[in-house]
């Protein structure tokens, strides 16, 4: 069965520190990859996505992620975090196959990011 693993459950950083959140998935076929963010008390919002092409994708708010197919990874990065980046971050995958009717997303368990001012 497919799964998505986020290695860090809780990350605490000071403002201006660099961020990297790990995400690995287990699926041998072609996938679409997503990072969502959930700010406190709010709904999930899309940060960025990868479908094909350049494996380095840029999203909103200065976030980027790199798809490394050989490592089954899609790590999220930001060079300098701000206090307002405090949130829960979710990596998600869906398989691009005729068996995935309707695009079921498989989510990782989330990483809580706390940024200290």
Among 24, 35, 57, 95, binds another protein (CB under 8 A): 95
Question: Rounded distance, CA 103 to CA 32, Å?
Answer: 9
Q: Which residues pair with 48 in a beta bridge?
A: 35
Please report how close the Cβ of residue 100 comes to another protein at its closest, in angstroms: 5
Residue with Cβ nearer another protein (24 or 110): 110
Site membership for another protein, residue 53 (CB under 8 A):
no
Site membership for another protein, residue 107 (CB under 8 A):
yes
Question: Rounded distance, CA 30 to CA 67, Å?
Answer: 12
Q: Which residues contact 17 (CB under 8 A, 6 or more apart)?
A: 80, 81, 115
Please report how close the Cβ of residue 14 comes to another protein at its closest, in angstroms: 24
Please report how close the Cβ of residue 71 comes to another protein at its closest, in angstroms: 22
Closest by Cα among 28, 17, 35, 26 to 79: 17
Residue with Cβ nearer another protein (51 or 79): 51
Question: Rounded distance, CA 29 to CA 51, Å?
Answer: 13
Give me the residues that bind another protein (CB under 8 A), please.
32, 34, 36, 42-46, 49, 51, 88, 90, 92, 94-98, 100-107, 109-110
């Amino acid at each position: 069965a497919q799964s998505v693993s986020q290695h860090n459950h809780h990350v605490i950083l000071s403002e201006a520190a660099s961020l990297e959140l790990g995400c690995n998935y287990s699926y041998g076929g072609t996938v679409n990859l997503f990072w969502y963010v959930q700010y406190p008390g709010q709904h999930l919002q899309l940060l960025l996505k990868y479908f094909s092409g350049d494996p380095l994708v840029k999203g909103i708010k200065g976030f980027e992620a790199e798809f490394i197919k050989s490592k089954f990874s899609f790590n999220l990065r930001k060079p300098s975090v701000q206090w307002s980046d405090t949130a829960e971050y979710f990596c998600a995958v869906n398989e691009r196959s005729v068996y995935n009717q309707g695009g079921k997303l498989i989510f990782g368990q989330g990483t809580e990011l706390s940024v200290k001012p």
